Amino acid sequence: MAIVKLENVSKHYRLGEQDVKAVSDVSLAIEPGVFLAIAGPSGSGKSTLLNIIGCIDTPSSGKVVVEGKDVSGQTPDQLADLRARTIGFIFQTFNLLPVLSAAENVEYPLLQFPELGQDERNARVARYLKMVGLSKYADHRPNQLSGGQRQRVAIARALATHSRIVLADEPTANLDRKTGEEILRLMKKINRRYHTTFIFSTHDRRVMNMADRLVRIEDGRITQLGVRSEDGWVFVQDQTRGEEAPEV
């Protein structure tokens, strides 16, 4: 069963007299455990789509189903809980809290779960900082860390809540090429080992080519769905109106 399903999802913004269609009639079913890139030029709707999948934005029309739950049927409290327990976010600008250490940044989202005591929180912080190779930097503040290290803290923070889905909006855009590739490789290693579903956006071809599923978007519409084979991308199809959304 798909871990995320979008059915005819659209998002329109009203800008003065203009109606901006950020996402237009997108249907998509995402298999659990994939390493999926949403690729498209700036302004094509990548962030809007990720925010809708992550339930931090709601569509103007259409249906969003996450882990079998129709998101539109949820109360704000249920939605916040679904988000907190199911979905982790990684951002282009890292979005760490500057006054907190690396360890405290990873611990921060755990504080919302009353069932997690201090010992369990400490254990998770240690485990996930180790996973991203930052055990020695636990007490460093973000401004004492490099860009790549900051993004590793953000990855640890996204995983610490035991998210089954990690959404990453252009996670390498503020990193140099080598560091960006290291971050992608780390995400892929975690994806392979723990079967966490990763959905990340990019406008960079090299980053796109590290994915095993590809959703290409232009002007808010899916133009291609690709599945990685040994010989490169196999394009499942271009989206055709009215057809059942293929699973990628």
**Residue ranges that bind ligand ADP, judged by CB under 6 A:** 13, 15, 20, 22, 40, 42-48
Nearer to ligand ADP, 41 or 246 (CB): 41
Least CB distance from residue 20 to ligand ADP, whole Å? 5
Which of the choices Mg ion, ligand ADP, none does residue 13 contact, using the CB cut-off of 5 to 8 A by kind?
ligand ADP
Residue 45 interacting partner from ligand ADP, Mg ion, none (CB closer than 5 to 8 Å by kind): ligand ADP
* Binding partner of residue 22 among Mg ion, ligand ADP, none, CB cut-off 5 to 8 Å per kind: ligand ADP
* Contacting Mg ion within 204-233 (CB under 5 A): none
> 3-state secondary structure string, the chain?
CCCEEEEEEEEEEEECCEEEEEEEEEEEEECCCCEEEEECCCCCCHHHHHHHHCCCCCCCEEEEEECCEEHHHCCHHHHHHHHHHHEEEEECCCCCCCCCCHHHHHHHHHHHCCCCCHHHHHHHHHHHHHHCCCHHHCCCCHHHCCHHHHHHHHHHHHHHCCCCEEEEECCCCCCCHHHHHHHHHHHHHHHHHHCCEEEEEECCHHHHCCCCEEEEEECCEEEEEEEEECCEEEEEECCCCCCCCCEC
- Residue 44 binds to Mg ion (criterion: CB under 5 A): no
The one of ligand ADP, Mg ion, none whose footprint includes residue 40, by CB under 5 to 8 A per kind, is ligand ADP
**Nearest distance, CB of residue 70 and Mg ion, angstroms:** 26
- Number of Cβ within 10 Å of residue 238's Cβ equals 11
Residue 15 binding: pick among ligand ADP, Mg ion, none (C-beta 5-8 Å cut-off by kind): ligand ADP
For the four alpha carbons of 101, 107, 108 and 111, in that order, the dihedral sign comes to: negative
Least spacing, CB of residue 146 vs ligand ADP, in Å: 25
Q: How far is the CB of 149 from ligand ADP (least distance, A)?
A: 25
Task: Give the shortest CB-24-to-ligand ADP separation in angstroms.
Answer: 10
Q: 62 is in the binding site of which of ligand ADP, Mg ion, none (Cβ under 5 to 8 A by kind)? A: none
Site for Mg ion, residues 45 to 84, rule: CB under 5 A: 46-47
Could you list the residues that contact Mg ion (CB under 5 A)?
46-47
